[in-house]
């Protein structure tokens, strides 16, 4: 795809970004999560998510007339960072955009002098993280609006 750019988030993209997150949860390919689990996850607190998009380090991958994906992270402690969001548009998954966003976050985090990146990874995200050297710190099940979703806290030491 031509003219793909990775740019800092702008508040004007709030609606498109929130819709992308919801659609990627509901429509991501693969057998992870039932429709009921996805529906519970996608019923986002939109004000909270908009605040996090605005206040964290958020990057957006764009092409003409489409937002392909986004990633958002914040400092956790002096030496660690938390990857809060990594979402790719359901029509553009498995084309390397998630990996490109993740590589950009890792570089950004490393440049900020944090030594490790952690996240709570969905079952959709875990294969990508495992392929990039992340370790599972803890497997867990989170309750969201009455549904129970398996996930894992994962961590990578950045070098």
Ligand X SMILES: CC(C)(COP(=O)(O)OP(=O)(O)OC[C@H]1O[C@@H](n2cnc3c(N)ncnc32)[C@H](O)[C@@H]1OP(=O)(O)O)[C@@H](O)C(=O)NCCC(=O)NCCS
Residues that bind ligand X (CB under 6 A): 24-25, 28, 30, 86-88, 93-99, 121-122, 124-125, 127-128, 131
Minimum distance, C-beta of residue 97 to ligand X, in the bound complex (Å): 4
Q: Judged by CB, which is closer to ligand X: 54, or 94?
A: 94
> Least Å distance between CB 84 and ligand X?
9
80-88, strands of its sheet edge to edge: 5-8, 57-63, 66-77, 80-88, 116-121, 147-157, 135-144
- Of 86 and 114, CB closest to ligand X: 86
CB of 50 to ligand X, least distance (A): 17
Q: Output 114 or 134, the one with its CB closest to ligand X.
A: 134
CB atoms within 10 A of CB 89: 22
Structure tokens at 59: 């990057």
Is the Cβ–Cβ distance between 97 and 44 less than 8 Å? no
User: Least distance from C-beta 100 to ligand X, angstroms?
Assistant: 7
Minimum CB distance to ligand X smaller for 23 or for 110: 23
Q: CB neighbours (10 Å) of residue 132?
A: 13
Name the strand (E) or helix (H) holding 15: helix 14-27
**CB 151 to ligand X: min, Å:** 7
Q: Output 114 or 124, the one with its CB closest to ligand X.
A: 124
Cα separation values, 46 from 19, 42, 52, Å = 10, 10, 10
């Amino acid at each position: 795809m031509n003219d793909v750019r990775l740019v800092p988030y702008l508040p004007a993209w709030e609606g498109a970004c929130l819709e992308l997150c919801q659609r990627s949860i509901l429509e991501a390919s693969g057998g992870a999560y039932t429709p009921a689990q996805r529906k519970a996850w996608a019923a986002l607190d939109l004000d909270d998510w908009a605040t996090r998009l605005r206040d964290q380090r958020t990057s957006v991958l764009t092409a003409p007339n489409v937002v392909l994906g986004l990633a958002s992270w914040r400092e956790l402690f002096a030496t660690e960072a938390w990857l809060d969001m990594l979402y790719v548009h359901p029509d553009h998954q498995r084309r390397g955009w998630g990996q490109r966003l993740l590589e950009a976050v890792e570089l950004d985090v490393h440049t900020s002098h944090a030594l490790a990146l952690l996240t709570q990874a969905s079952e959709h995200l875990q294969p990508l993280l495992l392929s990039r050297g992340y370790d599972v710190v803890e497997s867990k099940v989170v309750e969201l609006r009455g549904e129970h979703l398996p996930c894992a806290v994962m961590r990578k030491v950045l070098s």
